[in-house]
A and B are shown apart, each in its own frame.
Chain A
Amino acid sequence: GESVGLHLPTLSVQEGDNSIINCAYSNSASDYFIWYKQESGKGPQFIIDIRSNMDKRQGQRVTVLLNKTVKHLSLQIAATQPGDSAVYFCAETRHTGTASKLTFGTGTRLQVTL
């Protein structure tokens, strides 16, 4: 069945360096992908999204890359800051036409060291 997973469960990055968090998905029919950030004890917060007709999208300090050939998604964070420490989830939609039924990966914990 379809699944979304992450390659690295924990990523440790020095403050100021760039972070790259990777995600693999198996459903080639997925047409919409989202990255969420979840701080301890809180609900996930939207970071950035990308549709399957794009291969790159940039936000403020973040870039999402989509490689449909190998079904791979990545989140790049530039100049990582201590406030970026959190668990990051990728998610993909199962298109139903009405509800946005996101399938989430298991998450990657980003630890920013000083």
Chain B
Amino acid sequence: SQTIHQWPATLVQPVGSPLSLECTVEGTSNPNLYWYRQAAGRGLQLLFYSVGIGQISSEVPQNLSASRPQDRQFILSSKKLLLSDSGFYLCAWSLEGPGELFFGEGSRLTVL
């Protein structure tokens, strides 16, 4: 069966520090991968998605970047965090084409 792992689960970082959130998927090959952000009490906003190694599509201009160094690994990064980067970050995967997204357990980032 397929599983998705995200880490760290919780992170508190000072403004201006770097960020790296990691996500890996097991049990499937060539998945589509996604990073969503959820502000407190709000819906989910798509940040990045990837349909293959090295292929990254950005949905919104922001202080973050994403990379896919391996088929089942997706990384969300920042060089210098802003207060507005605080939120709940969710990684997800799907098969090719429109369909269900399978979400990880999320990473809660607090920038102070």
Contact = CB atoms under 8 A, between A and B. Distances in A.
Interface of A: 31-32, 34, 36, 41-46, 49, 89, 91, 93, 95-107
A42 B106 contact: yes
B87 to A, nearest CB: 13
Interface in B92-112: 92, 94, 96-106, 108
11 contacts: A41-B108, A43-B103, A46-B101, A49-B100, A98-B51, A100-B97, A101-B49, A102-B44, A104-B44, A106-B42, A106-B43
Contact of B97 (A34, A91, A97): A97
B32 interface: yes
A106 B59 CA distance: 18
A100 B43 contact: no
Contacts of B49: 99, 101
A8 B55 CA distance: 38
Interface of B: 32, 34, 36, 42-46, 49, 51, 57, 59, 90, 92, 94, 96-106, 108
Contacts of B57: 99
A104 B43 contact: yes
Contacts of A105: 43
A43 B97 contact: no
Given A99-B94, A102-B101, 20 more contacts: A31-B98, A32-B98, A34-B100, A41-B106, A41-B108, A43-B104, A45-B103, A46-B100, A46-B101, A89-B43, A89-B44, A96-B98, A97-B97, A99-B32, A99-B49, A100-B99, A102-B46, A104-B43, A104-B45, A106-B43
10 pairs of A and B residues whose beta carbons are closest in the complex: A43-B103, A104-B44, A93-B98, A106-B43, A104-B43, A100-B94, A32-B98, A99-B32, A99-B49, A98-B51
